[in-house]
Amino acid sequence: MADPKGFLTTPRQTPARRPVDVRITDWREVYTEFGADRLERQAGRCMDCGIPFCHTGCPLGNLIPEWNDLVYTGDWRAAAERLHATNNFPEFTGRLCPAPCESACVLGISSDPVAIKQVEVEIINRAWAEGWVPPRRPAPAALAAGQKVAVIGSGPAGLAAAQQLTRAGHAVTVFERADAPGGLLRYGIPEFKMEKRHLDRRLIQMLAEGTEFRCGLTAGVDVSAAQLRAEYAAVVLACGATVARGLPVPGAELAGIHQAMEYLPLANRAVAAGDTEPAISARGRHVVIIGGGDTGADCLGTAIRQGAASVTQLEILPRPPDHRPADEPWPTHPAIFRISSAHEEGGDRVYAASTQRFLADDTGRVSGLVVAAVTPSPSGFVPVPGSERELAGDLVLLAMGFTGAERPGLLTDLGVQFDGRGNVARNARFHTSVPGVFVAGDAGRGQSLIVWAIAEGRSAAAAVDEYLCGDTSLPAPIGPAAAPLR
């Protein structure tokens, strides 16, 4: 156990965010340095429970009490090894994960939970700084037995599958249609949540281990489904759930209305190019974001940094409660009112509101929305009569989630089957209906989280290794039907 009295004597602390008026002038991450001394005391709050529910809260099964103890006793190198035993990319989850482990922390029943996510990110920051994250090349015997595997898509699921399979000795080629690897980590998630240098540093490690990346190639177009099946012993589909949900109301076709994933990639590319003006910019605009989730919050923080005149975020659901409701008891990850860094920076949040139609100016550009208050009914949310009002907005960003993987092209040509939710169907070993073709991440699970994508990538890699070699020693943290604690 870390500090036997730590949970009694040390209050929870997490790093401060940089002042709002400073951080909205740049794109750097919002958090300040925390410091090793303070972090060791935070790790010391862990009670090393007999049944560590945090393990169950984390889809990767991260060995949280073990690394808390190692950090508390100052053995950071061993902590980094234990962390990497279950997580290929703790620098991603340590910055971006909503930390369901903390919702499941036993200390959280009676006090504030252990700052698990902060301990995770500090361990990996230290490990990179100390040079404790070298490339891990496969053994010659494993290489000799390895076979050719194609991974389609380079988001967290594809990267995790590729790293596991490369380390197991297989010759892995990652096909990515974008110009650089990373999936949503690179072109969805803004720099202020995770600076891309963390992604690039991990990709250098993967290249040194032997993973090959072929970017700017769309599987199903530049390389056909038949070619993939002929040239590779196995194919892993990790192509995400990229079909965005639309809003079929009058005026939806107007200029100035864009999907979040049209807007955010342009913004990320502009930042990468030295903060140039993107083709879709919020500068001087009255921005309305439809969708109150994390993607909407990413649009909000981006629009504020681009110099929006105003930002309003609409959500159809009612405002969540401030505290854990009775029907979402510990150790579940409850839907409560959360204030992300972007919400601190400005904008208005409007709940229980639904867009009825868009208004146009005389050039055909959106100039506003008619919104109505909604109330729940057996058939969904219905407008409250007489509650319609106009809201000005000349840039509208749709952030209402995704309906599944893109079917035309690769998936249709491969002939994979889909499940009832529109995702690529798979069996208990992540195998699709097509022999030798596996699926991992959002393409099989539906829109989810980075931690689930990494867990799926690891499990799918184990299944591929077993398929190719007859057995496997790769870990499989989850099955395809695993779900968050409910």
Ligand X SMILES: Cc1cc2nc3c(=O)[nH]c(=O)nc-3n(C[C@H](O)[C@H](O)[C@H](O)COP(=O)(O)OP(=O)(O)OC[C@H]3O[C@@H](n4cnc5c(N)ncnc54)[C@H](O)[C@@H]3O)c2cc1C
Where does this chain bind ligand SF4 (CB under 6 A)? 57-58, 60, 62, 64, 93, 97, 99-101, 116-117, 120, 451
Locate 357 and state its tokens. Answer: 């139609």
234-237 vs 366-377, strand pairing mode: unpaired
Does 183 contact ligand X by CB under 6 A?
yes
Among 94, 108, 156, 477, binds ligand X (CB under 6 A): 156
- Binding positions for ligand X, 411-430, rule CB under 6 A: none
Partner in contact with 191, chosen from ligand X, ligand SF4, none, beta carbon below 5 to 8 Å by kind: none
Among 63, 127, 165, 219, binds ligand X (CB under 6 A): 219
Among 80, 116, 168, 178, binds ligand X (CB under 6 A): 178
Does 450 contact ligand X by CB under 6 A?
yes
Q: Which is nearer to ligand X, 220 or 480 (CB)?
A: 220
What minimum distance in Å lies between the beta carbon of 473 and ligand SF4? 23
Residue range at the interface with ligand X (CB under 6 A); choices 212-220, 225-233, 312-320, 366-374: 212-220
Q: Which is nearer to ligand SF4, 83 or 289 (CB)?
A: 83
Q: Which is nearer to ligand SF4, 62 or 367 (CB)?
A: 62
What minimum distance in Å lies between the beta carbon of 112 and ligand SF4? 15
Instruction: Report whether 484 contacts 100 (CB < 8 A).
Output: yes
Count other C-beta atoms under 10 Å from residue 13's C-beta: 15
Does 298 contact ligand X by CB under 6 A?
yes
234-237 vs 437-439, strand pairing mode: parallel
Among 113, 138, 153, 477, binds ligand X (CB under 6 A): 153
Q: Which is nearer to ligand X, 64 or 451 (CB)?
A: 451
Does 296 contact ligand X by CB under 6 A?
no
- Binding positions for ligand X, 189-208, rule CB under 6 A: 189, 193
Q: Which is nearer to ligand X, 302 or 367 (CB)?
A: 302
Amino acid at 336: I
**Per-residue string for binding with ligand X, 99-128, x by CB under 6 A?**
------------------------------
Q: Which is nearer to ligand X, 297 or 374 (CB)?
A: 297
Residue range at the interface with ligand X (CB under 6 A); choices 32-40, 292-300, 303-311, 388-396: 292-300
Residue range at the interface with ligand X (CB under 6 A); choices 14-22, 52-60, 232-240, 324-332: 232-240
Among 240, 251, 292, 393, binds ligand X (CB under 6 A): 240
Q: Which is nearer to ligand X, 60 or 352 (CB)?
A: 60
Does 163 contact ligand X by CB under 6 A?
no
What minimum distance in Å lies between the beta carbon of 120 and ligand SF4? 5
Q: SS3 for the chain, per residue? A: CCCCCHHHHCCCCCCCECCHHHHCCCCCCCECCCCHHHHHHHHCCCCCCCCCHHHHHCCCCCCHHHHHHHHHCCCHHHHHHHHHCCCCCHHHHHHHCCCHHHHCCHHHHCCCCCCHHHHHHHHHHHHHHHCCCCCCCCCHHHHHHCCEEEEECCCHHHHHHHHHHHHCCCEEEEEECCCCCCCHHHHCCCCCCCCHHHHHHHHHHHHHHCCEEEECCCECCCECHHHHHHHCCEEEECCCCCEECCCCCCCCCCECEEEHHHHHHHHHHHHHCCCCCCCCCCCCCEEEEECCCHHHHHHHHHHHHHCCCEEEEECCCCCCCCCCCCCCCCCCCCCCCCCCHHHHCCCEEECCEEEEEEEECCCCEEEEEEEEEEEEECCEEEECCCCCEEEECCEEEECCCEEECCCCCHHHHHCCCECCCCCECCCCCCECCCCCEEECCHHHHCCCCHHHHHHHHHHHHHHHHHHHHCCCCCCCCCCCCCCCCC
What minimum distance in Å lies between the beta carbon of 342 and ligand SF4? 19
Rounded Cα distance, 367 and 149, in Å: 50
- Binding positions for ligand X, 75-104, rule CB under 6 A: 96-97
Among 26, 209, 294, 413, binds ligand X (CB under 6 A): 294
Does 210 contact ligand X by CB under 6 A?
no
Residue range at the interface with ligand X (CB under 6 A); choices 16-24, 44-52, 171-179, 474-482: 171-179
Contacts of 155 (CB under 8 A, 6+ apart): 182, 183, 184, 185, 238, 240, 441, 442, 453
Q: Which is nearer to ligand SF4, 57 or 138 (CB)?
A: 57
Q: Which residues bind ligand X (CB under 6 A)?
A: 96-97, 152-158, 175-178, 183-184, 188-189, 193, 218-220, 238-240, 261, 264, 294-295, 298, 409-410, 441-443, 448-451, 453
